[in-house]
Amino acid sequence: MGILLSGSDIDRAIKRISHEIIEHNQGVSNLVLMGIPTRGAYLAERICKFITEIEGAVGCGVLDITLHRDDLRLRPPKPILPTKMPPGGIEGKDLVLVDDVLFSGRTIRAALDAIGELGRPKSVQLAVLVDRGHRELPIRADFVGKNIPTSISESVKVHLREYDSEDLVELIK
């Protein structure tokens, strides 16, 4: 078990991702964020707050992907979590999806389907705190906090103070 990112590393990564998002989208006028529960939703809120401070107000929502998972029939059913639309909706917007760890890409595949139920954004981008590799689908992140090469048998655990009482990313072998 090893610490991959400390609390201040996470802060810096969020700030850098926020700047990159503003840069890439040339401002925030058409921008909305949606976090994938549980931790992706808190990360999206943090990014939203920082962008709002440095550039201007941006809408933030929550996107539950449970009903679109492709592994439903392999595990016990999970409760559905609330999906919250960002103020102003997503129709025609540049939508940035936010999640904590990018791994197989299956969650993001489900998220793209879930977005399809809600409307038709102009573009969909992806921001993740950690990219640990081992993709099983042709999906990549536009904004990455840290790339961490891992073995398939390891796992990456993100702790956020809103949910886990501290900010920390650790590698569990």
Partner 1 sequence: MITGHLLSASDLTKESALGLLATAKELAQITDGPNKKLPTLRGKTVVNLFFEDSTRTRISFESAAKRLSADVINFSAKGSSVSKGESLKDTAQTLQAMGADAVVIRHSSSGAAKRLADTQWIQAAVINAGDGTHEHPTQALLDAFTIKQHLKSSEKDLSGVKVLIVGDILHSRVARSNVILLTKLGAKVTLVAPPTLLPVGVNDWPVKISYNFDEEIEDCDVVMMLRIQLERMNDSFFPSAQEYSKRYGLNTSRLQKLSKSAIVMHPGPMNRGLEISAESADDLKSVIIDQVKNGVAVRMAVLYELLGGAPIGEQR
Binding interface with partner 1 (CB under 8 A): 64, 67-68, 71-83, 113, 116-119
30 vs 83 by CB, closer to partner 1:
83
Which residue lies nearer to partner 1 by CB, 54 or 80?
80
Alpha carbons 79 and 98: distance in angstroms, whole number: 21
Q: How far apart are CA 66 and CA 78, in angstroms?
A: 7
Distance CA 135, CA 102 (A): 8
Least distance CB 37 / partner 1 (angstroms): 12
- Decide whether 39 or 109 has the Cβ nearer to partner 1: 109
- Contacts of residue 157, defined as CB under 8 A and 6 or more positions apart, other chains included, come to 169, 170, 171, 172
**CB of residue 132 to partner 1, shortest distance in Å:** 21
Q: Across-strand partners of 128?
A: 99, 144
- Residue 54 or 72: the one with the smaller Cβ distance to partner 1 is 72
Q: Which of 58, 32, 163 is nearest to 100 (CA)?
A: 163
Least spacing, CB of residue 102 vs partner 1, in Å: 22
Nearest distance in Å: CB 8, partner 1: 37
**CA–CA gap between residue 115 and residue 108 (Å, rounded):** 10
